[in-house]
Amino acid sequence: MIVKFNNEELKELLRYADGPFGEDNFKSFMAEVCARTDEDTGEADLDRDDYSKIELYKAQGFGDALDKVFKRPLGKAIDQFLG
């Protein structure tokens, strides 16, 4: 599902751009999403695994950080999908 981050969300996401890749942790997940995000349009293609990781990392205490980036665009994308 394509999500579109606004400038504030994109700025928050890009804080993680220099994070590690290929590790099984929050910072690595955020860095990988950064790498898949078009900085010009603010669009990223998120899949089912991404949604699962968002829920997992929320449960691990990263809810506030995740909400700053994903709450609005995911809600909007789901609303559009469901019509």
Return the pLDDT at 74.
85
Mean pLDDT for all residues in the chain: 92
DSSP state of 5: -
What's the 3-state SS for 12-59? HHHCCCCCCCCCCCHHHHHHHHHHCEECCCCEEECCHHHHHHHHHHHH
- Closest C-alpha among 29, 5, 1 to residue 17: 29
Distance between CA atoms of 5 and 3, rounded to whole angstroms? 7
Which range marks the domain in which residue 54 is found?
2-82
Percent of the chain scored above 90 by pLDDT?
84
The pLDDT tens digits for 41-75 are 999 999 999 999 999 999 999 999 999 999 998 88
